[in-house]
Amino acid sequence: MAAYLVVTYDVSDPEQFALYNAESLPVVMESFAKHGGKVLAASADSSWLAGERQMFGIFEFPSVEAAQAFDNDPNRAAAKEIHHGATTNRIEVIVPGFAPPGSGDPLSAEVNDIFVSEFVRMAIAKVSAKVE
């Protein structure tokens, strides 16, 4: 199942970040290809609904394991160090793709149970609030 690497951060050192873009981006893109990754979105011009960061990216990989392999790829270690040194407020998360109930994915039943449980909990809370 596909997995998504979601990254958001602020640039704290523009000069070092420029080095990352100029020197490291080709290495990062090579690592994306090596691990089956695709850039779905990457922008400094995002429309934030809650919270806010300067940069945002969503990257797709064939699996959680492929996304983790990309993150740990020794070929991009130097690029990662430059990136982390030039940014703050980083949030980086790997999210497994969603399989709707009935799709045959064993996790879909578990995910569906969580969504149903949360929906029921919220509905009970709303009804209880109206009764009180």
> Tens digits of per-residue pLDDT, 97-131?
877 666 666 555 555 555 555 555 555 555 555 44
What's the pTM?
0.69
SS3 98: coil
Which residue range(s) make up the domain with 8?
3-97
Residues 46 and 109 in one domain: no
* DSSP notation for 35-67: TT-EEEEEES----SSS--SEEEEEEESSHHHH
Residues 87 and 105 in one domain: no
Nearest C-alpha neighbor of 76 from the set 10, 13, 32, 19:
32
pLDDT, tens only, 43-98: 777 676 666 777 778 889 999 999 999 999 999 888 888 888 888 888 888 888 87
Please give the structure tokens belonging to residue 25. Answer: 């981006």
CB burial of residue 83 (10 Å; 0-12, 13-18, 19+): buried
Residues 70 and 130 in one domain: no
Per-residue DSSP letter, 12: S
Q: In the beta sheet, which residues pair with residue 4?
A: 60, 95
